[in-house]
Amino acid sequence: MSRPEPRTQAACPAVFVAAPASGQGKTTVTSALARMLRNQGKVVRVFKTGPDYLDPQVLAQASGQPVEPLDLWMAGENDCRQRLFEAACEADLILIEGAMGLFDGEPSSADLAARFGVPMVIVMDVKGMAQTAAALVSGIAGFRDDVTIAGLIANACGSQRHRELIEAALPDAVPLLAAVPRNADMALPERHLGLVQADEIRDDLENRFEAGAQALMAEGLADKLLALPPVTFEACRTPEAKPPRGLEGQVIGVARDAAFSFIYEANLDVLKRMGADIRFFSPVHDCELPDCDALWLPGGYPELYGPQLSANEPMKAAIQAFFEADKPILAECGGLLYCLETLTDYDDATHTMLGLLPGSGWMRGRRGCQGMQTAELPEGPVRGHAHHRSVSEGTPEPIAHGRRQRHPAPGEAIYRQRRLTATYLHLFFPNNPEAIARLLGPVRPEPSKAAPNLESESCN
């Protein structure tokens, strides 16, 4: 019997949830949408535009499905296209939450929506305005001719009369899809790097999701979205396409707990597809490392768990011995802070850290650094991003710096001590699996000037 030909296209309704600016309630509305449809028995696949760890945690809990990043620069067009295709094969609806304002950044949310032909729904906080909201939406709808605006969700609407004023002023081509009343029970809690992690407030989030779902159900929003014309997505990889098996037989210990949780599932998937076995451990709670060949200390909130991390002497000793044995360690952002000698938190309390890397870290309020950069590693370039509210000082001379996306100034420092590689950058492993395999592999690699990305810039 001949094998059936693999699917090359899949179609389902899709909506890009965008806003004119940050702080309009995109994540609140997107999570409410996901929960509303999930409550109706629908399969909802949600994506988040750009680099983000916190919003996807919330959206995954709301939808009951994994949430992955879509970013044309960091991940590449092929990676985005393939993920959308795979989601369309199983979903009743795809939701893509944008970042910042819909035209902000290069590439922007609008660029992503235009590339894949996904209609945009504008979420706007309308508190303090009425007809002006319609004027802003009209300007947005006419700003680019390659983007379709399917309608407006008026967030924080004060009354029925408020709704009527906005709806009457909207152009015919941009309907009012829903008016969400002001409701503190729907709002998502925040802290200095964004939303509070989902695992910390799981029960509270459930109540907020349900409140949001009820508000949107009253607007009949589910039927409106499911009635949108399907969007067709094409596959960019054959089922047989695999990254190199550069980590065959390797066991990688990955720190994962409330202090270290900034982990892309796509990164774990690439490690597994390259042959690695993943074993998680908690630097906060565990007393020993798993039996492993390499360590990944990702970002997170070590500043919130300084006393626990400092007091866990058995774990500190285990990681220090691992370092002294010249085994590979990748430490990103919060992982970098953990590898320094001390970390001073927001209360000005200083905690002793691992001391694998000379230097001290300290938190500095809401000012920080963020942006897209390429880590210029000896093993090869890997794209990623920075987002932190801390600084480090007294560190050794870096071996390299990140290359900023659109600015000539040097980016984040990249440090190397023995086989420890530490940086503020969060790396997106699918961008260059070969470099990651050399970084975490068993043998110290020879420097490499460049390495090809897994995906090309287009399908052709």
> What are the residue numbers of the active site?
333
Q: Quick one: tokens of 330?
A: 């990748």
Task: Mark out the alpha helices in 302-390 (DSSP H runs).
Answer: 306-311, 313-324, 334-339
Q: Measure the CA–CA gap between 77 and 374, rounded to whole angstroms.
A: 17
Beta-bridge partners for 388: 369
Q: CB under 8 Å, gap of 24 or more: what pairs does 174-177 form?
A: 174/122, 174/137, 174/138, 174/141, 174/149, 175/151, 176/151, 176/152, 177/121, 177/150, 177/151, 177/152, 177/153, 177/219, 177/221, 177/224, 177/225
Q: Quick one: tokens of 205?
A: 């989030």
Beta-bridge partners for 17: 97, 121
The Cα diameter of the chain in Å comes to 70
- Helix (H) / strand (E) element for 383: namely strand 380-388
Q: Measure the CA–CA gap between 194 and 301, rounded to whole angstroms.
A: 12
Amino acid identity, position 357: L
Is the preceding omega at residue 314 within 30 degrees of 0, hence cis?
no
Q: Measure the CA–CA gap between 442 and 456, rounded to whole angstroms.
A: 28
- Give, as one character, the DSSP assignment of residue 100: S
Q: Measure the CA–CA gap between 329 and 342, rounded to whole angstroms.
A: 19
DSSP for 35-58 reads HHHHHTT--EEEEEESS-SHHHHH
Residue count (the chain): 460
Amino acid identity, position 39: N
Beta-bridge partners for 102: none
Q: Are 221 and 176 in contact (CB under 8 A)?
A: no
Neighbours of 449 (CB within 10 A): 8
Which residue is listed with tokens 């100034």? 409
Amino acid identity, position 358: P
CB proximity list for 49: less than 8 A, separation 6 or greater:
69, 70, 71, 96, 97, 98, 99, 109, 112
